[in-house]
Amino acid sequence: MITVRHLLDRKGRALFSVEPEDPVLEAIRLMADRHVGALLVMRGTELAGIVSERDYARKVVLLGRSSAETPVWQIMTAQVITVSLGDSVQDCMRVVTERRIRHLPVLESRRVVGMISIGDLVKAVIEEQQQTIEQLETYIHS
């Protein structure tokens, strides 16, 4: 069983974040520069929320708001769904599917230690299935 800890050990624990008062434009630029679809919104070391490209599209672009003048806190999701290092990939897949979200901050003792995306989860599931197929083929051929 692959856990969130395994995912982060492979992909790394780089965190990209903005502060609640930062302009949305700064968040969008950071997402583009880092090739990510969401950022943590942090107040110091405390997780205040998460902001995604989807938030930007729905709460800024569609409403005709200014990216330069709108602070991140006005469009972020404050009720963040998180996972822990010991959670399984299957549990995380269930969460992203049921909640219709794409990014999960990872907490350890209430401290953010990483972020995983639905892409990370799908990649892990495919790798796990490929290993199972190879093991079954080896078993059948022996």
Q: How many CA atoms lie within 13 A of 84 on its CB side?
A: 5
Question: In the predicted model, what is the mean pLDDT of the chain?
Answer: 94
Helical packing angle, 4-11 and 118-141, nearest 10°:
100
3-state secondary structure of 32: helix
Q: Is the pTM of this model over 0.85?
A: yes
Question: Is the pLDDT at 135 greater than 90, yes or no?
Answer: no
Q: Where are the domains of the chain?
A: 4-141
Spatial contact of 121 and 93, defined as CB atoms under 8 Å apart: yes
- Of 78, 87, 77, nearest to 107 (Cα)? 87
pLDDT, tens digit, 9 for 90 and up, residues 67-119: 999 999 999 999 999 999 999 999 999 999 999 999 999 999 989 999 999 99
Specify the fold of 4-141. Answer: CBS-domain (3.10.580)
Q: Which helix (H) or strand (E) holds 40?
A: strand 38-43
What does the pLDDT read at residue 18?
98
Question: Is the pLDDT at 24 greater than 90, yes or no?
Answer: yes
